[in-house]
């Protein structure tokens, strides 16, 4: 097994983002030292992990060396931004090479808010093409590899961010989630990944135009306190008045929760080792005094077909509008078989799209009814441990890719349809030593409940660290 770690005896050390802030406040490190350490770590592991989409090292150096701090709690903490949001003067390539890179004129809404927290971006990270696959294995750009075992996927679509945070390149990185793309790489790489409630964080204009806003921005971190601090600080920059505030969550909650547990996805039962981790997690919750009840999956079988059709429609819009959106150099011949297969699926079934979208929106009623009896629902994040590179090969036949994809990720899309928050926590490992994430979901606006529970589980069962 090949494990890759960037952790070193440098300014970053093995601190999380909050630890780095504390070190800055005490004068133990400087902003330029932190950026140089993160650059050195990126250069050390990126040739193997292949997580970087665009390098902005000189820009980060200049930002860190500015005579006055830019402000924001995280001022000076190095990060990366996923390559599907607009960052001024950087191209946005969406995980593909189907058009010529061109720099964005200005920050999009999300990057503007994200960087206002003080985070210093070193560039942009890789994703699967348009974020459609749960593994970034582009035929020309190469695969993003899991630092715990480089023969395996780092998950997707936020692949590069997950690999870099797990390997210790940076303590926190942007991710977003339209079908599990925060939670999937969190599970694969042993990280904390919270998909927030719909509307919690700003979206760029193109994503806001979706008929059903399934995408949510967020971050990947190695500690619960980093995730909690990020949402606290983002709330100072951007506040949605339609949602209850998260506030400053600093530890476990006092209330004992009613927790439902389910190991059967919409597609199938979780693998034996994933089911075992789930039941051990349920037993731990009971030991901590929570009330745990096994339930059957309440989501109708039709959900996955509806979600797949909506997902396919997004590909249809991108492919058919490619030249208008990405420029005259857009070449659909350079797209992978998954993107093209999804586009073709949508073209055959466009007449079914309005009803499918309406049913997806109504799924919120099911989780709202479940919330009357349970505060949290525990499921696996993924049905199996991270597969080897090649299992989701985007050059394979479309039917093979989509069958394997649906089989693996059928737990995560639900919260994208409902808008509910869900968090993946690294509570287990496979026989091969790969992380296995457990997912905890609640109802809209209850991120603080999930963070309090995450703190409690992190204290009760600290997760493995790659540097150990």
* Strand arrangement, sheet containing 120-125: 52-55, 120-125, 78-82
Residue 137 vs residues 144, 290, 308, 369, 408: alpha-carbon distances, Å: 7, 41, 20, 39, 16
Structure tokens at 148: 């715990």
- d(C-alpha 188, C-alpha 275), whole Å: 16
- d(C-alpha 327, C-alpha 349), whole Å: 27
Structure tokens at 252: 């476990």
Strand, helix or coil for residue 461: coil
Q: What is the dihedral of CA 360, 209, 450, 358, to 10 degrees?
A: -10
> Which backbone phi and psi does 226 adopt, to 5 degrees?
-65, -45
- In the set 5, 82, 124, 430, the catalytic residue is 82
Q: Please, are residues 124 and 87 in contact by the beta-carbon 8 Å criterion? A: yes
Tokens 């696959």 belong to 133
Our answer to whether residue 82 is catalytic in this structure is: yes
- Side-chain-side CA neighbours of 147 within 13 Å: the count stands at 31
> Which backbone phi and psi does 242 adopt, to 5 degrees?
-80, -5
Structure tokens at 195: 């998909």
- d(C-alpha 19, C-alpha 130), whole Å: 34
- In the set 128, 133, 157, 312, the catalytic residue is 157
- In the set 128, 161, 181, 315, the catalytic residue is 181
- d(C-alpha 239, C-alpha 335), whole Å: 37
Q: Please, are residues 446 and 193 in contact by the beta-carbon 8 Å criterion? A: no
Our answer to whether residue 442 is catalytic in this structure is: no
Active site amino acids? 82, 157, 181
């Amino acid at each position: 097994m090949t494990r890759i770690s960037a952790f070193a005896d440098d300014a970053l050390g093995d601190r999380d983002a909050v630890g780095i802030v504390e070190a800055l406040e005490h004068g133990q490190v400087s902003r330029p030292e932190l950026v140089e350490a993160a650059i050195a770590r990126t250069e050390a592991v990126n040739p193997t992990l292949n997580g970087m989409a665009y390098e902005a090292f000189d820009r980060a150096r200049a930002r860190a060396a500015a005579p006055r701090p830019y402000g924001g709690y995280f001022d000076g903490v190095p990060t990366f931004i996923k390559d599907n949001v607009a960052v001024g003067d950087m191209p946005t390539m969406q995980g593909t090479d189907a058009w010529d890179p061109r720099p964005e004129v200005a920050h999009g809404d999300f990057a503007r808010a994200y960087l206002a927290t003080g985070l210093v971006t070193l560039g942009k990270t890789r994703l699967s093409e348009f974020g459609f696959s749960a593994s970034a294995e582009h035929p020309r750009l190469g695969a993003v590899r899991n630092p715990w075992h480089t023969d395996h996927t780092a998950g997707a679509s936020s692949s590069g961010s997950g690999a870099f945070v797990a390997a210790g390149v940076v303590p926190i990185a942007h991710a977003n989630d339209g079908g599990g793309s925060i939670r999937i790489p969190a599970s694969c790489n042993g990280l904390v990944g919270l998909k927030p409630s719909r509307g919690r964080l700003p979206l760029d204009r193109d994503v806001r135009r979706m008929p059903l806003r399934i995408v949510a921005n967020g971050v990947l971190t190695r500690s619960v306190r980093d995730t909690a601090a990020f949402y606290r600080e983002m709330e100072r920059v951007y506040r949605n008045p339609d949602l209850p505030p998260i506030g400053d969550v600093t530890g476990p909650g006092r209330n004992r929760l009613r927790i439902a547990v389910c190991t059967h996805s919409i597609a199938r039962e979780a693998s034996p080792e994933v089911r075992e981790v789930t039941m051990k997690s349920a037993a731990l919750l009971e030991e901590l005094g929570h009330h745990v009840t096994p339930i059957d999956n309440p989501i109708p079988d039709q959900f996955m077909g509806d979600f797949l059709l909506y997902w396919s429609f997004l590909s249809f819009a991108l492919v058919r509008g490619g030249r208008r959106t990405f420029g005259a150099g857009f070449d659909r011949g350079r797209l992978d078989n998954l993107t093209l297969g999804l586009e073709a699926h949508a073209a055959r079934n466009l007449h079914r799209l309005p009803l499918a979208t309406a049913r997806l929106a109504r799924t919120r009623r099911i989780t709202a009814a479940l919330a009357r009896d349970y505060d949290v629902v525990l499921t696996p994040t993924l049905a199996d441990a991270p597969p080897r590179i090649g299992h989701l090969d985007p050059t394979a036949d479309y039917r093979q890719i989509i069958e394997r994809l649906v089989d693996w990720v059928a737990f995560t899309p639900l919260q994208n349809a409902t808008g509910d928050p869900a968090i993946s926590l690294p509570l287990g490992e496979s026989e091969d030593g790969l992380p296995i994430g457990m997912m905890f979901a609640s109802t809209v606006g209850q991120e603080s409940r999930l963070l309090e529970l995450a703190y409690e589980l992190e204290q009760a069962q600290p997760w493995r660290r790659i540097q150990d």
